[in-house]
Amino acid sequence: MSTKATLLALVLFTLGWIACNGQQKGVAEAERYGSATDSLFFSLERTPCFGKCPAYTVSIYRSGFATYEGRTFAPRQGRHTGRVDRATMETLLAKAEAIGYFDLQDSYDGAVTDLPSTITRIVSGDRDKRILARYKTPPALKAFALEADTLLKDVVWTPAPDLR
């Protein structure tokens, strides 16, 4: 075999190997974590109370990849993953903007220990807002959190291994 033919075969083999190995890793990471460049879009956390309040956290990433962590009295226990469609994400953002979410206070709290908290966060463009709501929460913010729960009720959640 000539030197040029050997060199060509080596280059083609190397390119094929890089293409196959890079693609396999990318697909596996995308399925497991959303994507290597995925970032948070929305999260909703409900904390426990002294009664039977459901405690859970839902996080939605820009790709639509979503995680759910159910704790005490939650509809599902443990870690789950799912997908949220673009229309649902757009609706969440539109509803947040309609109540002036990014202009609300960062915290609605007081010296009350037996009430559950609702913690929401939205990241959109250069805006990143997190609100803790437990005491004297504006009705529009309470309604927004309930609407978010309603919008996400039809997500198909698949149990996922605990990565801790």
Cβ 87 vs Cβ 152: under 8 Å? no
Amino acid at 128: D
Q: What is the mean pLDDT of residues 20-30?
A: 43
| Cα–Cα distance, 106 to 89 (Å, whole number) | 22
pLDDT of res. 26: 41
pLDDT of 94 over the 50 cut:
yes
Angle at which helices 139-152 and 86-98 cross, to 10°: 170
d(CA 125, CA 25): 29
> Which are the contacts of 106, defined by CB distance < 8 A and separation ≥ 6?
129, 130, 131, 132
Per-residue model confidence as pLDDT tens digits over 127-146: 999 999 999 999 999 999 99
